[in-house]
């Protein structure tokens, strides 16, 4: 028996972490067994990789290393966490997945997206989400939300958040292009509105599918 695999994608500050938790609670309230995980992360090794790719250092990973680090983290979480849960028939909700590699390293950093798709298939053994919710926000909203959160929590922007305006515009356009190419898998939701409205649209999209 196979479970249901839902991923959340989009630029930073789109509300993925917020809405992943809310959707999980709503589905649990309907009596479903839900496993929540995130990328990069979700296993010991993948969480270590998360720290490595985000830290601001003098010798940051070159783009090829960055790709391989994200894919190594994905291979771990897919084989140790996501596939076993799907095989148990559970619902799995993942905060970011393969489309983040295509958007950030492909559209953002300029790596050939077709090549990334091949490498990603190797890492995931071809696992694809049943539904991908793209929480779309313009870069201005993204920046404003992150600045507010950083001020509230006294934290600094990480290495990837610090990439320039042009990078962030390219990756947002990249996400929208990925969604356009696979309309049966993606639902695009404007996440710049009030949180309750976004949450209701997400639940409706899940029920509709
Ligand atoms: N990355 C990559 O390059 N390649 C890959 O293959 C993968 C990832 C898998 C992961 O960092 C980084 O790795 C990420 C992509 C890259 N790069 N960056 N930068 P992360 O997981 O820490 O970062 P994130 O995924 O971008 O998450 P985030 O910054 O925490 O954003 P979010 O999860 O989308 O949003 P949130 O935390 O739920 O909300 C942000 C704030 O906005 C928060 O204060 C909320 O209370 C507020 N919020 C949320 N919704 C609303 C609404 N509707 N109105 C007002 N305020 C709201």
CA 189 to chain centre: 14
- Read off the pLDDT of each residue in 87-116 and give the average, rounded to a whole number: 97
Q: Which two tokens stand for residue 152?
A: 């509230």
| DSSP E strand boundaries for the chain | 4-9, 34-38, 91-95, 131-136, 186-190
Lowest mean pLDDT among 85-94, 154-163, 189-198: 154-163
Residues having CB closer than 6 A to ligand 1 are: 12-18, 39-40, 70, 96, 100-101, 104-105, 145, 149, 158, 160-161, 191, 194-195, 198
Q: Name the burial class of residue 66, with classes exposed (0-12), middle (13-18) and buried (19+) by CB atoms within 10 angstroms of its CB.
A: buried
Lowest mean pLDDT among 6-10, 20-24, 47-51, 147-151: 147-151
- Read off the pLDDT of each residue in 181-209 and give the average, rounded to a whole number: 96
Q: How many Å apart are CA 198 and CA 202, to the nearest integer? A: 6
Which percentage of the chain shows pLDDT scores above 90? 81
Radius of gyration of the chain (CA): 16
Instruction: Kindly give the number of the ligand 1 atom that is closest to the alpha carbon of 101.
Output: 6
Q: Which among 171, 100, 124, 133 has a CA at the least distance from the CA of 7? A: 133
Residue 146's pLDDT is what?
Answer: 86
Lowest mean pLDDT among 56-65, 83-92, 116-125, 149-158: 149-158
Residue 64 reports pLDDT greater than 70:
yes
Distance 104 CA to ligand 1 centre (A): 13
Q: What pTM does this model have?
A: 0.96
105, 167 contact by CB (below 8 A): no
Residue 187's pLDDT is what?
Answer: 98
Q: How many Å apart are CA 156 and CA 161, to the nearest integer? A: 9
Residue 62 reports pLDDT greater than 60:
yes
Residue nearest atom 44 of ligand 1, based on CA coordinates: 149
Residue nearest atom 20 of ligand 1, based on CA coordinates: 12
Residue nearest atom 17 of ligand 1, based on CA coordinates: 160
DSSP 197: H
pLDDT in tens, 105-153: 999 999 999 999 999 999 999 999 999 999 999 988 988 888 888 888 8
- Read off the pLDDT of each residue in 56-85 and give the average, rounded to a whole number: 96
Distance 1 CA to ligand 1 centre (A): 32
Which of 18, 63, 75 has most ligand 1 atoms within 8 Å of CB, for mutation? 18
Residue 2's pLDDT is what?
Answer: 87
């Amino acid at each position: 028996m196979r479970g249901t695999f839902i991923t959340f994608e989009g630029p930073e500050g789109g509300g993925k972490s917020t809405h992943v938790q809310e959707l999980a609670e709503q589905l649990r309230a309907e009596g479903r067994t839900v496993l929540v995980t995130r990328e990069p992360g979700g296993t010991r090794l993948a969480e270590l990789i998360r720290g490595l790719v985000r830290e601001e250092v003098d010798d940051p990973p070159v783009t090829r290393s960055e790709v391989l680090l994200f894919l190594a983290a994905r291979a771990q979480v897919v084989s140790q966490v996501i596939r076993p849960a799907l095989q148990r028939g559970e619902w799995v909700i993942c905060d970011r997945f393969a489309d983040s590699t295509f958007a950030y390293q492909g559209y953002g950093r300029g790596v050939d997206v077709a090549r990334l798709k091949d490498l990603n298939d190797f890492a995931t053994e071809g696992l694809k989400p049943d539904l991908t919710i793209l929480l779309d926000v313009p870069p201005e909203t993204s920046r404003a939300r992150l600045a507010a959160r950083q001020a509230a929590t006294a934290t600094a922007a990480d290495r990837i958040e610090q990439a320039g305006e042009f990078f962030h515009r390219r990756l947002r356009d990249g996400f929208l292009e990925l969604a356009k190419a696979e309309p049966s898998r993606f639902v695009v939701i404007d996440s710049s509105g009030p949180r309750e409205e976004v949450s209701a649209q997400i639940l409706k999209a899940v029920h509709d599918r």
